[in-house]
């Protein structure tokens, strides 16, 4: 013979989730409005899922109010009663929630969470709301237009999650050397310190970037124009671009030419600020011919690269001579 036996542990946890969906619907209708109607649900021993009609995403404040309301009813430990009545009698009681468009028999079953919720339901439920243990919303999302979904936990899963969160909070408290109720303030303070340190580091880098790896400096001034001619070693074109941006920001009237040997190639770029004395593209073309290079750009910004790395010093001297001939 085959013996069937109910798994009482799974049944009890499922009952908690099922009763919680009834209390949840009551709380949703109280805090969002009576337009809220059940559009689907699912319960098992691990969690509950409740779909309901609502026109927009719930705010954080609304979620907290709904969750707190459910937990208040759990703490009140009110009775949960099941009773049978005729369908006609059920229809006359305005406080009973049901979808009377569904097909019911002549006799229906009413689940009454005393003082809060009355719903027609044929499912299994607990006897007191306190047995739910606790209620925690995990997510609120959209299912389709005008339909929202809440997923939540109760019972053993609720207790397990609260224990895990308490343990995590304790670890964060120890790590930040602050009391649990002061952790947010501590994190905000640390975050501000990090931002300030990053700002100081950036300022320090900006201050030193134009002096890093300089091999040659042939800079000079012409009237109020600063001519910055630098040769670097082991600086990539990306690094030269950062140096160029820094020099442009510091000098409002300048002609800048930077060059470097990196990866068996010579890289060079030029920019100008506050004047039209020379064309940066013309400067790049001058060096292209000298170092077997390619490149170009606009009158105020250009760059290039060449193969003859032996010509770094010669190319910089050539640029100085070329610019001076234009002055």
Q: Which tens digit of pLDDT belongs to each residue from 230-252? A: 999 888 888 899 899 999 999 99
Q: What is the dihedral of CA 70, 73, 74, 80, to 10 degrees?
A: -110
275 band by pLDDT with thresholds 50, 70 and 90: very high
133, 16 contact by CB (below 8 A): yes
- Same domain as 222, residue 168: no
CATH number reported for the structural domain that contains residue 271 in this entry: 3.10.310.40
Q: What is the mean pLDDT of residues 281-289?
A: 95
204 band by pLDDT with thresholds 50, 70 and 90: low
Q: Torsion-angle region of residue 38: left (phi > 0), alpha (psi -120 to 50) or beta?
A: beta
Q: Produce one character per residue of 97-128: b if its CB has 16 or more CB atoms within 10 Å, e if not.
A: bbeeeeebeeebbbbbbeebbbbbbebebbee
Name the range with the highest mean pLDDT among 67-76, 179-188, 238-247.
Answer: 67-76
Range of the domain at 275: 214-326
Q: How far is CA 75 from the centre of its chain?
A: 35
- Same domain as 114, residue 237: no
If one compares 98 and 30, the residue with the highest pLDDT of the two is: 30
- Same domain as 286, residue 147: no
> Who's near 185: CB < 8 A, 6+ residues apart?
178
Is the pLDDT confidence value at 120 over 70?
A: yes
If one compares 63 and 203, the residue with the highest pLDDT of the two is: 63
Cα–Cα dist 97/267, whole Å: 77
Q: What is the mean pLDDT of the chain?
A: 92
Cα–Cα dist 178/173, whole Å: 5
Q: By three-state DSSP, how is residue 61 classified?
A: helix
201 assigned to some structural domain: no
Cα–Cα dist 291/126, whole Å: 86
Match 């925690």 to its residue by tokens: 136
- Same domain as 72, residue 162: yes
37, 147 contact by CB (below 8 A): no
Q: What is the mean pLDDT of residues 304-327?
A: 93
196 assigned to some structural domain: no
Q: What is the mean pLDDT of residues 20-30?
A: 98
- What number of H helices and E strands is found in the chain? 8, 14
33 assigned to some structural domain: yes
Angle subtended by helix axes 60-76 and 8-32, to nearest 10: 130
Which pair of tokens denotes residue 31? 């805090």
Is the pLDDT confidence value at 307 over 80?
A: yes
- Same domain as 123, residue 229: no
Q: What is the mean pLDDT of residues 97-114?
A: 85
| pLDDT at site 155 | 97
- Same domain as 221, residue 285: yes
How many structural domains does the chain have? 2
């Amino acid at each position: 013979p085959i013996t069937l036996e109910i798994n009482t542990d799974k049944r009890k946890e499922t009952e908690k989730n099922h009763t919680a969906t009834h209390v949840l619907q009551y709380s949703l209708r109280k805090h969002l409005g009576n337009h809220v109607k059940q559009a689907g649900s699912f319960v098992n021993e691990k969690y509950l899922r409740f779909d309901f009609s609502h026109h927009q995403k719930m705010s954080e404040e609304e979620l907290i109010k709904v969750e707190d309301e459910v937990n208040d009813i759990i703490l009140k430990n009110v009775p949960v009663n099941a009773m049978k009545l005729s369908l006609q009698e059920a229809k006359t009681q305005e406080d009973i929630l049901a979808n009377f468009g569904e097909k019911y028999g002549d006799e229906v079953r009413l689940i009454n969470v005393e003082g809060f919720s009355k719903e027609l339901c044929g499912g299994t439920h607990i006897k007191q709301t306190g047995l739910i243990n606790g209620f925690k919303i995990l997510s609120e999302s959209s299912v389709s237009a005008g339909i929202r979904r809440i997923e939540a936990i109760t019972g053993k899963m609720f207790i397990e999650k609260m224990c895990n969160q308490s343990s995590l909070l304790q670890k964060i408290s120890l790590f930040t050397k602050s009391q649990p109720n002061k952790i947010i303030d501590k994190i905000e303070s640390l975050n501000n310190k990090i931002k300030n340190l990053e700002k100081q580091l950036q300022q320090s880098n900006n201050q030193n970037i134009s002096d890093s790896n300089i091999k040659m400096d042939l800079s000079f001034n012409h009237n109020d124009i600063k001519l910055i001619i630098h040769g670097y070693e082991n600086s990539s074109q990306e690094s030269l671009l950062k140096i160029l941006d820094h020099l442009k920001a510091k000098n409002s009237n300048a002609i800048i030419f930077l060059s470097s040997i990196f990866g068996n190639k010579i890289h060079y770029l030029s920019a100008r600020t506050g004047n039209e004395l020379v064309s940066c593209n013309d400067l790049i073309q001058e060096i292209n011919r000298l170092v077997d290079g390619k490149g170009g750009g606009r009158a105020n910004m250009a760059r290039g690269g060449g193969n003859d790395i032996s010509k770094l010093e010669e190319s910089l001297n050539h640029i100085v001579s070329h610019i001076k001939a234009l002055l």
